[in-house]
Structure 1
Amino acid sequence: MDLTLNVNGLPRQFSAEPNELLVERLRDGLGLTGTKVGCDTGQCGSCVVRLDGASVKSCLILTAAAAGSAVTTIEGVSATPDGALTGLQEALRQEHGTQCGFCTPGMVMALGEFVDRSAAGGGEEAPTEPEIREWLTGNLCRCTGYHSVVRGVQRACAAQATARQEG
């Protein structure tokens, strides 16, 4: 079947089998290998991308089901001409929230939605550690223990709140 996806801001047209998974199209069909394949069962979160703004596990979504949607992968997150990191990525870097890096793309995609929602809420209170950890339940990491990831998210949310107050 012929499909179109908007991937990282670019329209992509291709033919896909009805049973093709979105993660397969992204990695094998489009060469966007930042999206990882970990468990193939939706348990680890390494394959998380944003589909029309919502973080989803691309190993659980058929490419055909995503047709016509906007997909953002980790490659599309820092799509600035100078390759600058996003506020979340920089905060994770500063807090040493990444180690081996395998889970990092999925975490950045999932946590990016969390940070965006926190900013959109406009509340003065920063998200709590339990709230951040709850959001992370769909992403497994064997290296960090999540402490530094939580601090990175808190830093990113604080930076957005400060920017909002100054802006």
Structure 2
Amino acid sequence: MDISLNVNGLTREFAAEANELLVERLREGLGLTGTKVGCDTGQCGTCVVRLDGASVKSCLILTAAAAGSEITTIEGVTERGGELNGLQEALRQEHGTQCGFCTPGMVMALGELVDRTAGPETEDPTEPEIREWLTGNLCRCTGYHSVVRGVQRACAARTAPRQEA
């Protein structure tokens, strides 16, 4: 079947098999290997992407079901010029990554949390809220403490008053 997706701001058109998973299309079909395959059962979260703004596990979604959608992968979240976005930089500063295998999925999932709490009427997420948001992303290295601190840092940085240079 013919499919059209908007991936990281670019329209991609291709033929897909009816049983093709979105993670397969992203990795093998489009070469976006930042989206990882860990468990193939939706348990680990390494395959998380943003589908029309919501974080989803791409190993559980058929490519055909995503037709016409906007997909953002880890390759699409960096700032212009290749700079890390605020969450990525905060995770780096807090040593929220070690081996890095889970990192793309965590950045995609936690990015949604950071975005949802960015408005003037919302409060920064609490530690329990961050930990709850992380329940679908498994990490064998960090123990999550550094990841939680990274999210807190990212939220604090976006609400801090800017200093004039």
Report the TM range for the smaller structure's normalisation: over 0.9
Unaligned runs of 5+ in 1: none
Flag as ranges the 4+ runs of structure 1 deviating above 3 A.
none
CA separation of 1:28 and 1:79: change in aligned 2, threshold 3 A: farther
Q: Does 1:129 align with 2:127?
A: yes
Residue aligned with 1:109, SS:
helix
1:139 maps to which of 137, 140, 156: 137
Residue aligned with 1:20, SS:
coil
| 8 Å Cα contact 2:118-2:124 kept in structure 1 | no
Deviation at 1:79, TM superposition (A): 4.9
| 8 Å Cα contact 2:5-2:69 kept in structure 1 | yes
Residue aligned with 2:156, SS:
helix
Deviation at 1:127, TM superposition (A): 1.5
- The aligned residue for residue 97 of structure 1 is 96
- CA distance in structure 2 between the partners assigned to 1:39 and 1:163 by the alignment: 42
Question: Structure 2 counterpart of 1:62, which letter?
Answer: L
- The aligned residue for residue 6 of structure 1 is 6
- CA distance in structure 1 between the partners assigned to 2:20 and 2:120 by the alignment: 36
Question: Structure 1 counterpart of 2:138, which letter?
Answer: L
- The aligned residue for residue 117 of structure 2 is 118
CA separation of 1:48 and 1:163: change in aligned 2, threshold 3 A: farther
| 8 Å Cα contact 2:79-2:85 kept in structure 1 | no
- CA distance in structure 2 between the partners assigned to 1:163 and 1:110 by the alignment: 26
TM-score normalised by the chain length of structure 1: 0.94
Unaligned runs of 5+ in 2: none
- CA distance in structure 2 between the partners assigned to 1:126 and 1:22 by the alignment: 32
- Counterparts of 1:1-167 in structure 2, within 5 Å, are 1-80=1-80, 82-120=81-119, 122-123=121-122, 125-162=123-160
- CA distance in structure 2 between the partners assigned to 1:161 and 1:117 by the alignment: 13
The RMSD of aligned alpha carbons is: 1.4
Residue aligned with 2:159, SS:
helix
- Alignment: residue pair count: 163
Question: Structure 1 counterpart of 2:155, which letter?
Answer: C
Question: Structure 2 counterpart of 1:130, which letter?
Answer: P
Identical positions, percent:
83
What CA deviation, in whole Å up to 9, does each residue of 1:19-41 have, x standing for no partner? 00000000000000000000000
TM-score normalised by the chain length of structure 2: 0.95
- CA distance in structure 1 between the partners assigned to 2:120 and 2:43 by the alignment: 28
